[in-house]
Amino acid sequence: MECIVTKIARGRLFFANPGPTNIPDSILRAVSQSTVDFMSGSFLEMYDKCMDGLKRILKTEQHVFFYTASGHGAWEASLVNVLSPGDTILLIETGYFSLGWGQMAEALGIKVETFAADWRQGADISKLQAVLEADTEHKIKAVGAVHNETATGLSLPIAEVRAALDAAKHPALLMADTISSLGCFDFQMDAWGVDVCVGGSQKGLMLPTGMSFTGVSNKALAVHKTSTMPKHYLDWSAMMNRRHKSFIGTVPVSLFFGLAESLRLLEEEGLDNVFARHHRLGEAVRCAVRAWSGNNGPQLFCTNPGRYSDSVTAILAPEGCNADELRKICMERFNVSLGGGLGPLGGKVFRIGHMGDLNEPMILGTLASVEMALQIAGFPHAKGGVDAAMASLAASSVG
Ligand code: PLP
C-alpha cells in the first residue's frame, strides 16, 4: 500500500531546537493576561520580585539591567556600556556565537583579539594566562567568553577564565554570554568573578523571545562611568534614573508576567534538580549518538568530554550526507523540529536542543524520529541509539 504523507501535522510539534524552546502552558497563560500600567503598585511589586528572582538564578547580589530585545540587544549593551572606541576586547573563540559577538564589537569600533580554539575540542584555557601576561600595558579591557556555544554544543569553564585573569593579575573585565546556559547548567556570576553577563528569555528561562538582560558587577559599573561609546537606549546610567532601573521606553509587561512564572517553576523544581534533569537528558542524547556512530554514522561534534554541553548537542552528519535532508524528514514526516548547522557548519551538522521544559519521553520521541530519519535518508549508521538512550535514562537517578 502506498504510504501517503500528509502535510497537515497532527499531535504536538516536538520542538527540539536549541532556542527558542518549549514554553510551558502555565507561562503561556501568564503572558496572555491583560496588560497593566507598568507604574502601578501591583506591577512594581511583581517586577521587583522578578529582579530579585533573576539575581538568584544568576547567583549575583550585584546589578541587573533588562532590555526589550533578543540576546543581541544585551550583547550590544555589554559592549557599549563598558568599552570605548579603540579599546581592545579579547574574545575566546568558541564558534559561530563568539564570532558574532566579535563582529558586533568591530562594528562599534572596538578592536577584537581572538584567543583561537578548535571548535570541536574547545579553547585551551591553560594557555590564557600567558596571553594576558604578555599584555603588559593592559590594552585588553575585557575578556569575552561564551559559556555555552549553541552552534557546536561545547561549554566553556568560566571559572578557569577568571582564574587565568587573576593569576596574570590582569585588570580586564570578564564578560560571559550565558544565553544558552542559564537555567540549564550552573552559572555563578559572583563566585566566578564575572563582571558582565548576558542572558536572554527564550532558552533556559522558557519564555517567548524578546527580553534580554545583563548582570553587572560593581567594578563594571565603575568602568561604565568612563566609557565614551555613544549610547542612548541601552545606557545603564540613564536606566539607573528610572524607577525600574532598566528600560528607557515602555516596560514589556507581559514578559514579566511570564518571567514571574518561569522563576516560580525553576525554584519549585529547585535549580540543582533543573541542572540534573538537563544533564540526564543531555547524557541520553550523547548515548544515542555514540550508538548511531557505528558503521561510519553521525558523530558527536564535541570531541572533548570535559566540555559536553548539557543544553544542546551538535551532531556531525556522516561524510557526504546533508544534515538538512535529515532535518527535513524529521519535520515533514514526524513534526519534529531540529536545529541546523550555523555558519560554516551549515548542512554538515544538525542540533538537538535539550534545554528548558523537557522530559524523558519528549527527548526519546525526538531521538526515535532521528533514528527513523537516518534510515529513511539512507545515511550510514548503526541501530540502537534509542535503546542506548533508554538504558541511560533508566539507569540515572532522579533527585
Ligand atoms: N549568544 C548565544 C550563545 C546564542 O545562542 C544566541 C542565540 O541563539 C545569541 C547569542 C544571540 O541571541 P538572540 O538570537 O536572542 O539575539
pLDDT tens across the length of the chain (399 residues):
555 555 778 899 999 999 999 999 999 999 999 999 999 999 999 999 999 999 999 999 999 999 999 999 999 999 999 999 999 999 999 999 999 999 999 999 999 999 999 999 999 999 999 999 999 999 999 999 999 999 999 999 999 999 999 999 999 999 999 999 999 999 999 999 999 999 999 999 999 999 999 999 999 999 999 999 999 999 999 999 999 999 999 999 999 999 999 999 999 999 999 999 999 999 999 999 999 999 999 999 999 999 999 999 999 999 999 999 999 999 999 999 999 999 999 999 999 999 999 999 999 999 999 999 999 999 999 999 999 999 999 999 776
Crossing angle of the two packed helices 360-377 and 323-334, in degrees rounded to 10:
120
Pick the residue whose CA is nearest to atom 11 on ligand 1: 71
What pLDDT is attached to residue 116?
A: 98
Pick the residue whose CA is nearest to atom 9 on ligand 1: 71
Q: Which residues line ligand 1 (CB under 6 A)?
A: 19, 70-72, 97, 146, 150, 177, 179-180, 200
pTM over 0.85: yes
Give the span between the Cα atoms of 280 and 272, in whole angstroms.
12
What pLDDT is attached to residue 9?
A: 82
Residue of 97, 101, 119, 212 best suited for mutating to test ligand 1, as the one with most atoms within 8 Å of CB = 97
Give the span between the Cα atoms of 184 and 182, in whole angstroms.
5
Pairing of strands 173-177, 140-146: parallel
How many whole angstroms from 19 Cα to the centroid of ligand 1? 8
CB 314 within 8 A of CB 349: yes
How many whole angstroms from 1 Cα to the centroid of ligand 1? 46
Whole-angstrom CA distances from 180 to 4, 241, 292 are: 38, 30, 26
What pLDDT is attached to residue 343?
A: 97
What pLDDT is attached to residue 397?
A: 79
